Structure 1
């Protein structure tokens, strides 16, 4: 029951108590007072009617005084109990809120049970504390991962510079290539961090135009085909006939598909296959990137789009990713009003990333046959 309903019930009980006390007093006091006055009427001067009126007034006054007194006492008692429960709940809530603001995210508010509004408030504060705790853990992991990502290229560059300064190394093409690779790694990390921050904050402008899904998929496949050929992984594209256009930023959606396809080839061994497809799905166009690679265990699926989250730390760092690509994908898809999800039957059983974007119903549909790569 909501708190307002409980207050109404409390007031109704107070009124009922007053009525009950008035009736009991009237039954106990009224007849005796009335009878006393009538007996006095037979010995004192005055009419019977005057004594009857006096008896009625005395009995009524006694009854009303007793009823009002009982109602006041009952009201004060009920108000005290209610205010005590409310004050205790608010003190507990304030204490937990203060602890959360001080950085203790493991504390929780117990539902006071005095109304659904207070229970909802307790639930909201508990959810906030849980969310802040998760964000704090992510922040700590983010800082640790950034430090790790920076440490390796910086240490490599510093070591080579020291070797060049000491004359141990010479500035050969091989040395230059190593230095450039590490500098590129730093640049890519900085670009990825900037991109995900701009996308998540809404500061990244989008040039929304009608885009043909077939065009997006073909451009993505063409740009990544050399890498797939080097990796020995087959890339197959398919666009179902009748797939409508979408309203999107061509470059940013190309970045989304590029990140997903690039992620797929990094986790698919030679001889495997990656499928990049698009099809109408209700009111959306569904893009899917499905691979036959490493797969993801169920406990990791809810977190793969978080920054720097790694299913297998050693393996993923070895694959050379910055750990931010999927976070960029999620931020850009959400900025387009779409959704992104991931499915995997389990380890070594492949992974499928699904991107749903609102279809543009008035746009032309693509009809040619699909083709593979």
Structure 2
């Protein structure tokens, strides 16, 4: 949608009118004309009185005819001197103004062209440095940083949409296949079929909730309501909530934390972090395995660990384990009900709480340990 501005003669399109160099030259010319007129008026008002005062002090009393000749000579000399000086100064000033205005026009034009490229979505367009001083350097630096952030945002958006489409494909395909089978009479809406449909629907709902949570956390829009929390009670509540799932898969869940420490955090968000970590550990630990939750003090932090005896993580995957939708083993992703961003949510929530999280593993088959650092309060 284009915009116009109304002027005294009707609508005016943006960018119309004289350019920057022309405006600067016109302004400089007006300044020079004003300076010349001021100089002439001041000289005309002040010079005669000064001239006659010097004649009086010298004791010269010229005749009227001589006085007229002297006045004419003085006026001519003054006029010629001022004219030559003003013309020379004006020529030099206009030449310097023209040089710098052309330089500024080219520099501003290049920056404006780069801005147009960025506005068109070509974020890799280089932003030239005009070399016109600190303020212009700051402008080009800020524009380059803006382009880089927009480029990163666009890459993240595309990757997120692609990953989201991939994650939605399986439950949507399951729903579509079973609904088509019911419609064709191949299947009936019995309890097993209904369970499959409900599971796929819940997975889609959980995926939408997780996407919303991680986006809010990473954008700084997540509401945090910190309270004083005792770490041992926080861990007890988390392990109690996960106990049924662990029993169903026959995985042992141990809470070995005996630390007496208090943290200031949002209980709901911290419960979400621990729930995601315990859920992740359960998915990657086979039946008969063990997941151990522990905690200890390391001033000024309280350190919470979640260690599992499951599959482990290869060294090349550890740096990316907290990325959205990243899975070390994509071939088994569809067999698990996770959304693929549980660890991303945990990291984002801990960042919002002033803490941090890390992952460690000695490799495949050795299990994995997730470590949380939260600032502790003295008890």
TM-score (norm 2): 0.65
Q: 2:189 aligns with which of 147, 163, 171?
A: 171
Please state whether the residue corresponding to 1:328 is helix, strand or coil.
helix
Structure 1 alignment gaps of length 5 or more: 1-57, 365-373
Structure 2 alignment gaps of length 5 or more: 1-76
Give the equivalent residue in structure 2 for 1:195. Answer: 213
Question: Aligned equivalents of 2:333 and 2:367: distance in 1?
Answer: 16
Residue 117 of structure 2 is aligned to residue 103 of structure 1: no
Query: Is the 1:208–1:248 contact (alpha carbons within 8 Å) kept by the matching residues of 2?
Result: yes
Residue 262 of structure 2 is aligned to residue 251 of structure 1: no
Matches within 5 A, 1:37-76: none
Please state whether the residue corresponding to 1:247 is helix, strand or coil.
strand
Please state whether the residue corresponding to 1:258 is helix, strand or coil.
helix
Question: Aligned equivalents of 2:176 and 2:223: distance in 1?
Answer: 37
Q: Deviations over 1:274-312 (max 9, x none)?
A: 4433333444433343456432545772x5444334444
Query: Is the 1:296–1:344 contact (alpha carbons within 8 Å) kept by the matching residues of 2?
Result: no
Q: How many positions carry a matched residue from both structures?
A: 304
Q: Deviations over 1:50-94 (max 9, x none)?
A: xxxxxxxx9xx99x9999988776665555544444433322222
- 1:200 Cα deviation after fit: 4.7
Query: Is the 1:340–1:353 contact (alpha carbons within 8 Å) kept by the matching residues of 2?
Result: no
Q: 1:291 to 1:89 in 2, by over 3 A?
A: farther
- 1:313 Cα deviation after fit: 3.5
Question: Aligned equivalents of 2:294 and 2:203: distance in 1?
Answer: 30
Give the equivalent residue in structure 2 for 1:340. Answer: 356
Matches within 5 A, 1:172-321: 172-200=190-218, 204-228=222-246, 235-239=253-257, 241-243=259-261, 245-268=262-285, 274-291=291-308, 293-295=311-313, 297-298=315-316, 301=319, 304-321=321-338
Q: 1:134 aligns with which of 147, 152, 155?
A: 152
Alpha-carbon RMSD across the aligned residues, in angstroms, is 3.9
- 1:212 Cα deviation after fit: 0.5
Question: Aligned equivalents of 2:307 and 2:134: distance in 1?
Answer: 46
